[in-house]
């Protein structure tokens, strides 16, 4: 039931600065920063963290000190800026799949213009479809759907209006992460990935690899998601790298592994050196059996587990999906009648008209039909794709909004929705006789846009909830979301393309044309989408590995473990999940100490805790620094300067590889100690 007695912080009759040029510009800047950071993080770790609260915290501090912003302007800043994070997640989780389609047919569409177009269209679709749902989900069910991030963000904005310097700790984390990144990625004083691998000749434990990317962003992510999820993630990595790989390396001959790599395109042929694991054709062996087995077999098992985990997550929410869709449809008519005219309507109830939704949806279909940068051999084919996008979009935007209202954006089963969309699209294609590799890019477009739209709808719902609590004008928020989606998409596409360009160091380690898909940027969800796309439309899939992974996810679910988190951990390198686990363990220790003092915190108080704010700074600072350094390394002139600055070779010569790794681990431990000490403060 709706809370009819609810009163927003700023009353409807109050006139206050809200939709101003400075609020939009500041929001766009934050959208660019957090969009680029999320892109980097999602490509490396397959994970994202919510940007709304960090943006609100920083907006309050900067706005009060330098720009004299009102609470409603601060709300517009965080609304505009948060669009970048959700769109970046949708883009990274799907569009890299173009690189992995059959015979390279999708690579021509992995260009900046296509990525930009799909990001903008998906972002706009997610916001469009939320316009008629706001009154039914945000207003009428205010007492039923908590929208946890949106409620917490609204509380942050109100608390900031009352006073308090929240952002100082976040800025400390930001500065710490930047300094750490310079020492690690520019001067190379801190090792990036300390590792230890047992020998292939080891009788009991061959080719087991322990490794960790000891970066600020991973520690920050681990702290934010907490010990439970971080533990499940690293458990998947332990299974893959310390159980499956040693077992397979003792059972499968090197030449058989190399043949499988040739089949998958990771190795030219058995007489050519290189590829994943660095194949030596003269000795008929690998320098790194662990990497070779990972790419030949374990990655496909992990992809099957991720697919099953996403689908299981979706199935578990079916009752919620059915109830939410029925309830939302029944209220759209009323919402449409009320939004037809804003005359006499209180400021806090003014939405954009349903005409905007109808005309915007029609425009999206027509643009998709006629734009040359999108896949499709005829206008009719593209029209069908556009119709599928709008139909699936209307359904899954509703589902996404309802689910994040109950369990939060972090638990939104976007992967499951995208898998269902992709499978449904492929089945429609098969029904009309469209089979084969030529239709793979078209199916991926539908899945990609729905993923972006559903992710953005979840974020939009949280923003509208924040606005409802503080007393914002909905139509201004909706316009701000459109602006944020367009501006952040410009930078997200650039970031993806820059990160996909292999640096000289990557090339030296066997990465050729694309860094995305390599161990540097695994892009697990994008690889999975391509795998499913190919498997359904072309049949070129090693189903035995995928099915094994699916039953691995089912086993975890039967054990009461979150199968999707475990599956993502099984797919990713252990070097990604291990440092995330360290951050989660620190959070677990902090929580344990708090429980011993019988100190209970409300959700919004936890979000504003010093540990969370410092961790947010580590994530944002580490990811943004990673993007900046990656961009600089993409230019020959600056890459030369960066190479002259690094001290790695000298340190290894002086200390040995082991000593160099120990120094890196000591720095990482110091960062963890700082995080713990700050988190323990009141």
- For every residue of 545-566, DSSP letters joined together read HHHHHHHHHHHHHHTTS-HHHH
Give the distance from CA 668 to its chain's centroid: 24
Please, what is the end-to-end C-alpha distance for the chain in angstroms?
37
pLDDT reported for residue 248? 93
Q: Which residues of the chain have pLDDT under 50?
A: 1-2, 335-340
Helix axes 543-558 and 563-571, enclosed angle (nearest 10): 140
Task: Report whether 613 contacts 170 (CB < 8 A).
Answer: yes
Contact 219, 582 (CB under 8 A): yes
Contacts of 135 (CB under 8 A, 6+ apart): 331, 334, 335, 338, 339, 349, 351
Exposed / middle / buried, residue 378 (Cβ in 10 Å: 0-12, 13-18, 19+): exposed
Separation between Cα atoms, residue 404 and residue 455, nearest integer Å: 10
Q: Are 301 and 310 in contact (CB under 8 A)?
A: no
pLDDT of residue 164: 54
Q: How far lies 94's CA from each of 111, 117, 236, 454, 463, in Å?
A: 14, 14, 22, 12, 24
What is the value of pTM for the model shown?
0.76
Q: Which two tokens stand for residue 434?
A: 């469209």
Task: Give which of 480, 450, 455 is closest to 368, Cα–Cα.
Answer: 450
* Continuous segment of H or E residues that includes residue 66: none
Helices within 281-378 (DSSP H only): 289-293, 299-316, 318-339, 354-370
Measured CA distances, 494 to 147, 529, 631 (Å)? 32, 22, 10
Q: What is the length of the chain?
A: 682
CA 287 to chain centre: 33
pLDDT at 324: 52
**pLDDT for the residue 320:** 59
Query: Which residues is 286 bridged to in the sheet?
Result: 279
pLDDT value of residue 682: 66
Collapsed DSSP state (helix, strand, coil) of residue 197: strand
Cβ atoms of residues 44 and 522 within 8 Å: yes
- Distance between CA 645 and CA 624 in Å, rounded? 20
- Domain boundaries in the chain? 1-333+349-681
Given this model, what pLDDT does residue 434 score? 84
Please report the pLDDT score of residue 2 as a whole number. 47
Q: What distance in Å separates the CA atoms of residue 464 and residue 135, rounded to the nearest whole number? A: 10
Give the angle subtended at the CA of 144 by the CAs of 141 and 147, to the nearest 5°: 90
Phi, psi of 681 (to 5 degrees): -75, 150
> Using alpha carbons only, how large is the chain's radius of gyration in Å?
25
> What pLDDT is stored for residue 1 in this prediction?
44
């Amino acid at each position: 039931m709706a809370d009819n007695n609810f009163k927003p912080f700023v009353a409807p009759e109050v006139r206050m600065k809200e939709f101003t040029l400075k609020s939009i510009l500041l929001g766009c800047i934050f959208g660019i920063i957090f969009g680029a950071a999320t892109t980097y993080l999602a490509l490396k770790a397959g994970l994202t963290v919510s940007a709304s609260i960090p943006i609100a915290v920083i907006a309050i501090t900067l706005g009060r000190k330098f720009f004299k912003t009102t609470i409603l302007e601060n709300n517009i800043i965080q609304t505009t800026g948060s669009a970048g994070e959700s769109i970046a997640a949708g883009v990274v989780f799907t569009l890299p799949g173009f690189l992995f389609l059959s015979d390279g047919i999708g690579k021509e569409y992995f260009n900046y213009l296509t990525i930009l177009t799909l990001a903008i269209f998906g972002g706009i679709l997610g916001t469009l479809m939320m316009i008629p749902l706001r009154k039914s989900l945000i207003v009428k069910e205010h007492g039923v759907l908590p929208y946890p991030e949106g409620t917490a963000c609204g509380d942050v904005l109100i608390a900031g209006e009352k006073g308090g310097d929240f952002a100082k700790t976040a800025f400390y984390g930001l500065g710490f992460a930047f300094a750490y990144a310079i020492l690690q990625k520019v001067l190379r004083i801190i090792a990036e990935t300390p590792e230890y691998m047992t020998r292939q000749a080891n009788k009991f434990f061959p080719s087991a690899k322990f490794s960790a990317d000891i970066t600020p962003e991973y520690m920050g992510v681990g702290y934010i998601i907490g010990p439970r999820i971080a533990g499940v993630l690293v458990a998947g990595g332990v299974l893959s790298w310390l159980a499956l790989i040693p077992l397979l390396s003792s059972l499968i001959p090197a030449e058989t592994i190399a043949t499988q790599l040739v089949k998958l395109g990771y190795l030219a042929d058995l007489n050519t050196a290189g590829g994943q694991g660095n194949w030596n054709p003269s000795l008929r062996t690998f320098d790194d059996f662990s990497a070779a087995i990972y790419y030949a077999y374990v990655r496909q098992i992990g992809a099957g587990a991720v697919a099953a985990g996403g689908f299981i997550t979706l199935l578990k929410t079916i009752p919620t999906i059915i109830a939410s869709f029925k309830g939302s449809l029944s209220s759209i008519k009323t919402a449409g009648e009320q939004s037809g005219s804003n005359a006499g309507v209180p400021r806090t109830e003014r939405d954009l008209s349903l005409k905007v939704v109808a005309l915007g949806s029609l425009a999206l279909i027509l643009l998709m039909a006629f734009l040359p940068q999108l896949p499709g051999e005829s206008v009719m084919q593209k029209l069908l794709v556009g119709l599928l996008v709008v139909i699936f979009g209307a359904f899954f935007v509703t589902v996404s909004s309802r689910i994040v209202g109950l369990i939060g954006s972090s638990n939104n089963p976007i992967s499951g929705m995208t898998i269902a969309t992709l499978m449904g699209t492929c089945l429609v294609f098969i029904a009309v006789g469209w089979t084969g590799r030529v239709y793979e890019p078209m199916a991926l477009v539908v899945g990609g846009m729905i993923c972006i739209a559903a992710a953005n709808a979840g974020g939009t719902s949280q923003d509208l909830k924040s606005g409802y609590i503080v007393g914002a004008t909905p139509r201004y928020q909706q316009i701000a979301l459109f602006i944020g989606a367009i501006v952040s998409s410009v930078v997200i596409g650039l970031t993806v393309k820059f990160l996909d360009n292999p640096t000289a160091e990557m090339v030296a380690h066997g990465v050729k044309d694309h860094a995305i898909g390599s161990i540097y940027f695994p892009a697990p969800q994008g690889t999975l989408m391509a795998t499913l796309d190919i498997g359904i439309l072309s049949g070129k899939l090693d189903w035995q590995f995928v099915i094994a992974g699916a039953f691995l996810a089912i086993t975890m679910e039967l054990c009461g473990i979150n199968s999707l988190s475990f599956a993502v951990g099984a797919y990713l390198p252990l070097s990604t999940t291990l440092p995330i686990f360290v951050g989660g363990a620190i959070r677990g220790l902090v929580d344990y100490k708090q429980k011993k003092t019988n100190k209970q915190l409300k959700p919004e108080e936890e979000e504003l805790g010093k540990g969370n704010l410092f961790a947010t700074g580590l994530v944002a600072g580490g990811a943004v620094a990673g993007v900046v350094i990656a961009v600089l390394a993409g230019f020959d002139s600056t890459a030369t300067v960066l190479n002259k600055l690094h001290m790695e070779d000298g340190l290894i010569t002086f200390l040995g590889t082991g000593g160099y790794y120990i120094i890196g681990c000591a720095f990482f431990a110091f960062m963890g100690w700082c995080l713990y000490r700050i988190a323990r403060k009141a």
